[in-house]
Every structure is written in structure tokens, then in C-alpha cells.
A = this chain, B = another copy of it.
């Protein structure tokens, strides 16, 4: 039995690609960078780079994201490693995808404005290089599973939000229209919202009540899970 045989030819480059989803109260967006070298120069790409000797994958993702976008302190989660033999025509490269959800407004000031990076609506995003579209699909699938099995929104919504905004977020993630009354009933049954004595008057004369997450209960619900059926 030979477990150890390998040839140095089998060594590979390890890339890290960051899928940054943002929410702007209405829409789910994705942060992309215009690639400035061959192959595929000038095309849109995920925020990516290569693992170096002195870092692990988590550290690499943080460094690459910060270097290309300016974003700091973003908690990213590893999604999946992509390894199709010819996925990068230049050289055998395995890529580990990471993803994060951020509130666009909160992080706007950190973004390096002169870099060719741009938020795209998920629905109108350009075709990406290599297998990056598959990476995005995989991350969305993960995000959906998460939204159906535990609360989501803490990282994506402002501190105070309306029911409509929370519903918009769920609709964007699940890519479907939800019935307003069902949604409200369901979310209330999870018992993680605090209704404030305060209204958002921006969208109607009557105004819409603002809500906050009850942090303790939200946290417990993330641990216990729920089953949000569409």
C-alpha cells in the first residue's frame, strides 16, 4: 500500500476567491473586480488571489479581500473548493471559495474607490471568468439553506428595519415573492423581533413600524434553527 507517493508535478496553485454579497434595503448585490491581466483580462471576476506560504486559507481570504477592496473585518465563511482540471487555462489551480454578507451602506467608506471594483445587482451581474459563476451559485445555495433553517439579517439590515425590508431581504435571498401576511405571521412565530415605538415615515404617510432583532433570542434561534417553508 502506497499512501505517500506523489510527484512535485502534482503540486498546484491554490487560489482563494471571495464572494461578497451585499444588501441595500431592496436588492441582493455582488462585489466584482475587473481583471487586469491575462487570461481573461478585462473580464469581471470574483475578488481573488493566491494563497502564500505563510498564511492559512482564512487569513489569505482576508488579506486578498482587503488588498483589492479595502474591506476590513469581514467575517467570511469557506464555501467549497473547486478543482476542475482545466478550470484555469494558464495553470492547474484549485480555488477555495469564501463568502460573506455585508450591509453595503455600513462598509461603503472602506471601499477603495479608484479600483475597478463594482457592486452589481445579482440579477444583472455580467458573466464571470472561469467557473466563478458556479462558485456564486454554490454560495447562493448555501445562503438559501441558511435562510430557510435559521434567521438571517443581522449582518445585512440596518439596526432598525421595517417588516417590508426584512421581507425584501428574504425575497431576494430566496428569489421569490412571499405573501406579506404569511411572512409576518411566520417571522412573529419565531419570536426574535422587538417592535419599536417608532416609525419609518419615508415610504408612506401612515409610516411603518420599525423593528429590531432581540439579540439573545436571535442568537438562540441561530443555534436551534427553524424551518422556514416557502
Residues of A within 8 A of B (CB): 1, 3-6, 9-14, 33, 35-37, 45, 48-58, 60, 68, 78, 80-81, 83-85, 92, 94, 96, 115-116, 148-149, 224-227, 229
Most buried by B among A11, A12, A33, A94: A11
Instruction: For A78, list chain B residues within 8 Å (CB).
Output: 80-81
The CA-CA distance from A83 to B81 in the complex, in Å, is 12
Contact check, B10 vs A10: say whether CB atoms are below 8 A apart. Answer: no
Instruction: For A50, list chain B residues within 8 Å (CB).
Output: 5-6, 10
Contact check, A51 vs B1: say whether CB atoms are below 8 A apart. Answer: no
Q: Residue on B with the closest CB to A56?
A: B83
The CA-CA distance from A224 to B49 in the complex, in Å, is 37
Name the contact of A51 in the complex, choosing from B12, B33, B36 (C-beta under 8 A): B12
Name the contact of A3 in the complex, choosing from B5, B68, B96 (C-beta under 8 A): B68
Name the contact of A55 in the complex, choosing from B80, B81, B85, B96 (C-beta under 8 A): B85
Besides the known contacts A10-B53, A12-B51, A225-B229, 9 further A-B residue pairs in the complex with CB atoms under 8 A apart? A4-B37, A9-B53, A10-B50, A10-B51, A11-B12, A51-B83, A149-B149, A224-B227, A226-B227
Contact check, B227 vs A225: say whether CB atoms are below 8 A apart. Answer: yes
Report the minimum CB–CB distance from A130 to chain B (whole Å): 13
Q: Residue on B with the closest CB to A84?
A: B56
Instruction: For A9, list chain B residues within 8 Å (CB).
Output: 53
Instruction: For A13, list chain B residues within 8 Å (CB).
Output: 6, 10-12
The CA-CA distance from A53 to B10 in the complex, in Å, is 5
